[in-house]
Amino acid sequence: MVTKVTGNGQPFLNTGSRAANGRKGAEMATELIERLHRESASPAESVLKLYRKVLAVFYIEERMKAFARQGKCSFVASSRGHEVTQAGIASLLKPGYDWFFTYYRSKGTAVGVGLSLTDIFLGMLGRKGDPNSGGRNMPEHFSSRALHLVAQTACTGSQYLPAAGVARAVKADGQDAVVYVESGEGATSEGEFFEALNWAARESLPVLFVVQNNGYAISVPQQTQTASSVRKIAEGFGVRAVEMDGTSFDALYERVPDLIQWIREGNGPVLIEAKVVRLDPHSSSDDHRKYRNDDELLHALEWDPLLQMEARILEDQILSAGEMEFIRQEVKAEVEKAAEWADAQPEPDGRDLMVNIYAETPDVKKVGSSPRYISEEPITLIDAINHGLREELERNPRVVMWGEDIADPKGGVFGVTRGLTRMFGERVSNSPLAEASIAGIAGGMAIAGYKPIVEIQFADYLWPAAMQLRDEIPTVRWRSNGTWTCPVVVRIASGGYIKGGPWHSTCVESFFSHIPGWRVVFPSCAEDAKGLIKAAARSEDPVIFLEHKGLYRKVQAKTPEPDSDYVVPFGSGRIRHQGVDVTVITWGSTVYQALEVARQCEQRGRSVEVLDLRSLAPLDEELVYRSVRKTNRVVIAHEDSLTMGFGAEVAARIASECIDALDAPVLRVAAKDSFVPSAPTLEALVLPTADTLHKAVEQVLRY
């Protein structure tokens, strides 16, 4: 093969000589032409469209290398070597109907689905007007609602579960759309990749998994990742899987259209392990010469997809050498024009910095409703949640629910969802014992327009889902600058006092309240539980709905049942007991300790005001400050451990806004900084009690 080398060391074909390396010959070319004839009135036009896209990727990468050297872009991950797989498969799909989940090396896919050159450069440079994220997301992360190109994170492998979730929505809607999700082979070592294969195979979801195997996860070779192969791993989960030469557009057109059609016909997922090459370093901060020798790098150039495509185009006489050079210069000019225009745009000014973290909502004090009770007979907190879920399932056909053991006849390990499967069928179903799957599939279905309300059986066991619950779900609105939303509701059983020991007693409100994007609520009585679960089911934001196991059937938590119109707005606390001498601010199980202390103090002539926050994010600061300015003394009580508990945040805000109104230090009563022991006597020593709270109240009253 005769080549000429550009100034940056990248080769271009100079003659029409044939590419070597065992490429299939005239037989494949004939087969290719026949296939293109079936799919297009002009097969040559289809090839040239893909050629122009592959060329565009080349020139984009060259321009981005220059921008990186100039310090104008912080991160560039070249897709050179992957571009035929990415642009080629994307060109066989239907942007705007099919769905696309990419990763940090996906410029070929972005070009393939039709994202404009200016939008690509605006996203890479993070300039004002960037339609991908408004400069919020990293370079290489593209987004377009019109194209169904979903905004991604940089987390490796976490895109697979949301992609399967979108596929679940597509199937539920009766569409024949395909969900394309891609990564390198390194990401397939992540557990969420395995979980996505499992869920997609189990439910025959229309997912096209495209793993681009260039042999390296940064510097780690594939043999360090697995003793198997990606294809074999997928087959082990029951997924149809194929290996193909991802550098050859011949192989692409020979095999991929039939695989796509197979998915569209409802046969389930397919995995393509595309063997590609990485022609450039992992990223702009990597020097691959440290772990790849010169012979290997030269060998990789022989498999350059662009070279191979040009050789085939010349051999099949689709273009002459002169015509090919003309197209090169034409595409290069288009790319340069877009790059220069984007580079001339200003940096983001930050005026909308805090917009699109949450949905734009009305003042919480102006929404909601007063309870109208449908029965004077009190119901338990667990029944209130069940009834609220039932009413929202009836109200909104897009509400779907799943979790471990939640389907009938069991209806959850605590019985919260009992009877709902009998009423609503597959809309209330069991899931695998896999918390990341529970959350990640929910995230995808929410992106596609459903309203998942899912259950994590115990707060202690949610951590396998941490990537979805921290990096994926709450960032969707923010990272897409409002283009995409992800209004998932995650119900979590939490808290102790049930002799559950160290693995069934965790409180997690401070963890989630610290993550922007989540609404976090923690009801303490039946009335509030029903009103808040209905608010969560109607929220445009993702919601963490915390359910204290010890309150499910607690007699004191019973209330009359509000009707189906009762909704408790987020950011709205309530006064559970009026007082003037000291304020106890609390939530969850410690509400009842505070009420007991208020009763005891009242017998001695002291008046305690008890505030039940109910909603932690957002926090009803107005209610808190008003009470503090009335009583001038504050005790904060919560079940979570003391250090870094949410009470510290409440105390800090009081110190900032009400320091002039305080006549005593702000005290906190909480669990000791320990795990919760199993022995009942030890549990009682770790968790807060009414007695310890009473002592704190008496202490501030002495000032």
- List the CATH number of the domain containing 632: 3.40.50.920
pLDDT at residue 4, rounded to an integer: 38
pLDDT tens digits along 309-334 = 999 999 999 999 999 999 999 999 99
pLDDT tens digits along 55-107 = 999 999 999 999 999 999 999 999 999 999 999 999 999 999 999 999 999 99
pLDDT at residue 44, rounded to an integer: 79
Domain end among 562, 590, 611 = 562
Q: Which residue has the higher pLDDT, 368 or 109?
A: 109
pLDDT at residue 578, rounded to an integer: 97
Which structural domain range is residue 579 located in?
575-701
Same domain membership, residue 248 and residue 115: yes
pLDDT at residue 22, rounded to an integer: 38
**What are the strands of the beta sheet with 489-494, ordered from one edge?**
428-430, 399-403, 451-456, 489-494, 543-548, 519-521, 615-617
Residues contacting 667, CB < 8 A, separation 6+: 634, 635, 636, 696, 699, 700
Same domain membership, residue 77 and residue 16: yes
Q: For 412, which DSSP code? A: S
521: three-class secondary structure by DSSP: strand
In the block, tokens 């010469």 appear at 289
Report, as an integer, the average pLDDT of 448-475. Answer: 98
| pLDDT band, very low/low/confident/very high, at 27 (cuts 50, 70, 90) | low
Burial category of 125 from C-beta neighbours within 10 Å (exposed 0-12, middle 13-18, buried 19 and up): buried
pLDDT at residue 17, rounded to an integer: 37
pLDDT at residue 60, rounded to an integer: 98
Instruction: Report the half-sphere exposure of 298 (CA within 13 A, side-chain side).
Output: 4
Report, as an integer, the average pLDDT of 25-29. Answer: 46
Rounded distance, CA 196 to CA 163, Å? 8
| 138 belongs to a structural domain | yes
Name the domain count of the chain.
3
483: three-class secondary structure by DSSP: coil
Rounded distance, CA 47 to CA 36, Å? 9
Is 23 a residue whose pLDDT tops 80? no
In this structure, are residues 117 and 338 in contact, taking their beta carbons and an 8 Å threshold? yes
| 557 belongs to a structural domain | yes
pLDDT at residue 367, rounded to an integer: 54
Segment (H or E) for 526: helix 526-538
| 351 belongs to a structural domain | no
Is 357 a residue whose pLDDT tops 80? yes
Is 14 a residue whose pLDDT tops 70? no
Tokens representing 606 are: 């002291």
Is 42 a residue whose pLDDT tops 70? no
Is 35 a residue whose pLDDT tops 70? no
**Dihedral, CA of residue 39, residue 45, residue 51 and residue 56, to nearest 10:** -110
Nearest to 209 by CA among 252, 151, 152, 167: 167
Same domain membership, residue 607 and residue 507: no
Known catalytic residue: 82? no
Tokens representing 5 are: 């080398």
| 372 belongs to a structural domain | no
Rounded distance, CA 471 to CA 53, Å? 32
pLDDT at residue 34, rounded to an integer: 52
| 362 belongs to a structural domain | no
Phi (first) and psi of residue 248, to 5 degrees = -115, 120
Is 39 a residue whose pLDDT tops 50? no
Share of the chain above pLDDT 70, in %: 93
658: three-class secondary structure by DSSP: helix
| pLDDT band, very low/low/confident/very high, at 9 (cuts 50, 70, 90) | very low
Same domain membership, residue 549 and residue 581: no
Calculate the average pLDDT of the chain: 92
| 134 belongs to a structural domain | yes
| pLDDT band, very low/low/confident/very high, at 360 (cuts 50, 70, 90) | confident
Domain end among 562, 596, 615 = 562
Instruction: Report the half-sphere exposure of 56 (CA within 13 A, side-chain side).
Output: 28
Is 13 a residue whose pLDDT tops 70? no
Is 419 a residue whose pLDDT tops 90? yes
Same domain membership, residue 251 and residue 310: yes
Nearest to 63 by CA among 284, 361, 243, 391: 284
| pLDDT band, very low/low/confident/very high, at 123 (cuts 50, 70, 90) | very high
| pLDDT band, very low/low/confident/very high, at 370 (cuts 50, 70, 90) | confident
pLDDT at residue 148, rounded to an integer: 98
String of DSSP letters for 226-261:
-SS-HHHHHHHTT-EEEEEETT-HHHHHHHHHHHHH
pLDDT tens digits along 194-241 = 999 999 999 999 999 999 999 999 999 988 988 899 999 999 999 999
| pLDDT band, very low/low/confident/very high, at 29 (cuts 50, 70, 90) | very low
Rounded distance, CA 439 to CA 372, Å? 34
CA 561 to chain centroid: 35
| pLDDT band, very low/low/confident/very high, at 642 (cuts 50, 70, 90) | very high
Same domain membership, residue 161 and residue 78: yes
- Least confident stretch, 170-184, 357-371, 411-425, 553-567: 357-371
> What is the three-state SS of 178-228?
CEEEEEEHHHHHCHHHHHHHHHHHHCCCCEEEEEEECCEECCEEHHHHCCC
| pLDDT band, very low/low/confident/very high, at 20 (cuts 50, 70, 90) | very low
pLDDT tens digits along 679-692 = 999 999 999 999 99
Is 292 a residue whose pLDDT tops 50? yes
pLDDT at residue 31, rounded to an integer: 52
Residues contacting 30, CB < 8 A, separation 6+: none
Report, as an integer, the average pLDDT of 418-436. Answer: 97
pLDDT at residue 375, rounded to an integer: 84
pLDDT at residue 24, rounded to an integer: 43
In this structure, are residues 656 and 523 in contact, taking their beta carbons and an 8 Å threshold? no
* Alpha-carbon distances of 387 from 169, 194, 370, 406, 623, rounded to whole Å: 25, 36, 18, 15, 29
Is 648 a residue whose pLDDT tops 60? yes
| 399 belongs to a structural domain | yes
Rounded distance, CA 252 to CA 210, Å? 12
| 373 belongs to a structural domain | no
pLDDT at residue 167, rounded to an integer: 98
Report, as an integer, the average pLDDT of 610-638. Answer: 98
In this structure, are residues 500 and 549 in contact, taking their beta carbons and an 8 Å threshold? yes
Same domain membership, residue 599 and residue 624: yes
Same domain membership, residue 651 and residue 520: no
Model confidence, pTM: 0.92
pLDDT at residue 2, rounded to an integer: 33
Domain end among 293, 322, 343 = 343
Same domain membership, residue 332 and residue 230: yes
Same domain membership, residue 581 and residue 557: no
Nearest to 520 by CA among 358, 671, 392: 358
Same domain membership, residue 495 and residue 583: no
Is 25 a residue whose pLDDT tops 60? no
Catalytic residue among 82, 148, 282, 504: 504
Report, as an integer, the average pLDDT of 365-381. Answer: 80
Report, as an integer, the average pLDDT of 377-384. Answer: 97
- What's the CATH number where 466 sits? 3.40.50.970
Report, as an integer, the average pLDDT of 38-47. Answer: 63
Same domain membership, residue 294 and residue 191: yes
Report, as an integer, the average pLDDT of 367-396. Answer: 91
Neighbours of 355 (CB within 10 A): 13
Strand duo 634-641 + 667-671: pairing = parallel
